[in-house]
């Protein structure tokens, strides 16, 4: 018995001091196939029943004590190692970005910053709204009632029939940024001048459509606003964005339920070095028109839906695809690549983090 006690005391003392490698050696030496404790346990088989009854508790007790001590020591060593790693691998996020650092600003983020810069200069604030919307903000308040064909045309991602908000409204992923018009008008008294960039969702996918894409909405509400203001604003914006003065606009009558009249805006392009670029003479031999924006005067029913008096307040709204603007300005041709996360694409088309767009420095520099 004394021998066992002494053996246990020695083993526990060595375990308490052991590092990870020594601990494994001790485990094998004591509890392994031919370890000292294992061999002791084996001697029980050759004993008489009386002897075995007398010896077994002590030997099994030794095995348990050693196994427990090893497990406890291993847990303590693991904890210390983790501590050390946490200290060692801590990143100081306040350090300046080093030379050769990876990472770039995605063209969509860059273009959104460019748009915010251009419109801030024209006195527009940036507004946002939720991507999970209800059908009142996304459709009904925008003069698209339940039975309106435009609802079907939007390829909407709906939540379940039972997933409704406190007012019993059906929930969905917003199909455009136009619900931000409604949210802004119900929350802020006019005059209003906002842009609302953000993600939108439609069940659609090919080279020029992805189920998630980005739009930017513009809204102006004031007294005595007319189509001339809309035209001037869009022309000023497009010239600043594409950084060319020779940009021509063509307004075509169109239809949106939430604007009256509605106008689709085409912009003149020319083919330069085999690539379509915005600007130049659209009526020349290398020229043509490209549709870039939907817009119009905010429908009196929409003004009334948010509780304003359409006789007093008018305005215009416009909407366009941010991804598309990025493609046109920076010359990408497949929209899907925007969301693949391919590092080679990001390195090629991405922007340096410190390359913040400014009007003075050039919004696309």
Binding site for ligand PHE (CB under 6 A): 176, 178, 217, 256, 259, 294-296, 317-319
Q: Which two tokens stand for residue 206?
A: 């090919």
Of the pair 27, 176, the CB lying nearest ligand PHE is at 176
The least distance separating ligand PHE from the CB of residue 283, rounded to whole angstroms, comes to 26
The Cα–Cα gap between 133 and 198 comes to 13
Of the pair 8, 215, the CB lying nearest ligand PHE is at 215
The least distance separating ligand PHE from the CB of residue 338, rounded to whole angstroms, comes to 18
Cα atoms found within 13 Å of the Cα of residue 60, Cβ hemisphere only: 7
DSSP states of 291-353: EEEEEEEEPHHHHHHTT--TTT-EEEEEEEEHHHHHHHHHT---GGGGGT--HHHHHHH-B-T
Neighbour count for residue 362 (Cβ, 10 Å): 11
The Cα–Cα gap between 362 and 129 comes to 29
The least distance separating ligand PHE from the CB of residue 244, rounded to whole angstroms, comes to 24
Helices (H), 199-255: 227-242
Of the pair 234, 247, the CB lying nearest ligand PHE is at 234
The least distance separating ligand PHE from the CB of residue 355, rounded to whole angstroms, comes to 29
**DSSP symbol at 197:** E
Of the pair 143, 259, the CB lying nearest ligand PHE is at 259
Of the pair 118, 317, the CB lying nearest ligand PHE is at 317
The least distance separating ligand PHE from the CB of residue 218, rounded to whole angstroms, comes to 7
The least distance separating ligand PHE from the CB of residue 217, rounded to whole angstroms, comes to 6
Of the pair 8, 295, the CB lying nearest ligand PHE is at 295
Q: Which two tokens stand for residue 285?
A: 């031999």
- Contacts of the segment 283-289: beta carbons below 8 A, 24+ positions apart: 289/250
The Cα–Cα gap between 108 and 196 comes to 14
The least distance separating ligand PHE from the CB of residue 321, rounded to whole angstroms, comes to 8
The least distance separating ligand PHE from the CB of residue 205, rounded to whole angstroms, comes to 17
Q: What are phi and psi of 193, to 5 degrees?
A: -140, 100
The Cα–Cα gap between 266 and 83 comes to 61
Of the pair 268, 294, the CB lying nearest ligand PHE is at 294
The least distance separating ligand PHE from the CB of residue 360, rounded to whole angstroms, comes to 30
Of the pair 4, 290, the CB lying nearest ligand PHE is at 290
Residue number, nearest CB to ligand PHE: 319
**DSSP symbol at 245:** S
Of the pair 117, 264, the CB lying nearest ligand PHE is at 264
**DSSP symbol at 153:** H
Of the pair 220, 240, the CB lying nearest ligand PHE is at 220
93-114 burial by CB neighbour count: b if 16+ within 10 A, else e?
eeeeeeeeeeebbbbbbbbbbb
The Cα–Cα gap between 320 and 290 comes to 13
- Are 302 and 181 in contact by the 8 Å Cβ rule? The answer is yes
The least distance separating ligand PHE from the CB of residue 178, rounded to whole angstroms, comes to 4
């Amino acid at each position: 018995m004394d021998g066992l006690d002494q053996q246990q005391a020695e083993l526990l003392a060595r375990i308490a001091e052991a590092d990870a490698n020594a601990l494994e050696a001790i485990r094998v030496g004591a509890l392994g196939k031919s370890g000292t404790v294992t061999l002791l346990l084996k001697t029980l088989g050759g004993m008489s029943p009386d002897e075995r009854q007398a010896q077994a508790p002590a030997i099994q007790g030794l095995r348990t004590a050693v196994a427990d001590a090893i497990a406890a020591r291993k847990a303590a060593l693991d904890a210390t190692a983790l501590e050390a790693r946490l200290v060692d691998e801590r990143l100081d996020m306040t350090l300046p970005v080093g030379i050769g650092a990876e990472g770039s600003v995605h063209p969509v983020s860059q273009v959104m910053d460019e748009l915010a810069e251009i419109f801030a200069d024209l006195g527009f604030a940036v507004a946002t709204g939720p991507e999970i919307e209800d059908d009142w903000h996304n459709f009904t308040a925008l003069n698209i009632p339940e039975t309106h064909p435009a609802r079907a045309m939007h390829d909407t991602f709906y939540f379940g029939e039972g997933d409704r908000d406190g007012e019993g409204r059906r929930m969905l992923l917003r199909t455009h940024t136009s619900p931000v018009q409604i949210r802004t008008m119900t929350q802020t008294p006019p005059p209003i001048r906002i842009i609302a960039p953000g993600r939108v969702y439609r069940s659609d996918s090919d080279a020029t459509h992805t189920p998630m894409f980005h739009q930017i909405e513009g809204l102006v509400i004031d007294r005595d606003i007319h189509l001339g203001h809309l035209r001037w604003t869009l022309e000023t914006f497009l010239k600043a964005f594409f950084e060319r003065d020779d940009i021509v606009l063509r307004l075509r009558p169109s239809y949106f339920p939430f604007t009256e009249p509605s106008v689709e805006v085409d912009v003149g392009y020319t083919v330069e070095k085999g690539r379509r670029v915005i600007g130049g003479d659209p009526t020349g031999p290398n020229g043509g028109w490209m549709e870039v924006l939907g817009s119009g005067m905010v429908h009196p029913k929409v003004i009334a839906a948010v509780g304003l008096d359409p006789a007093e307040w008018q305005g215009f709204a416009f909407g366009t695809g941010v991804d598309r603007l990025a493609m046109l300005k920076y010359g990408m041709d497949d929209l899907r690549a925007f969301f693949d996360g391919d590092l080679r694409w990001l390195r090629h088309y991405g922007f340096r983090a410190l390359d913040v767009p400014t009007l003075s420095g050039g919004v696309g520099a």
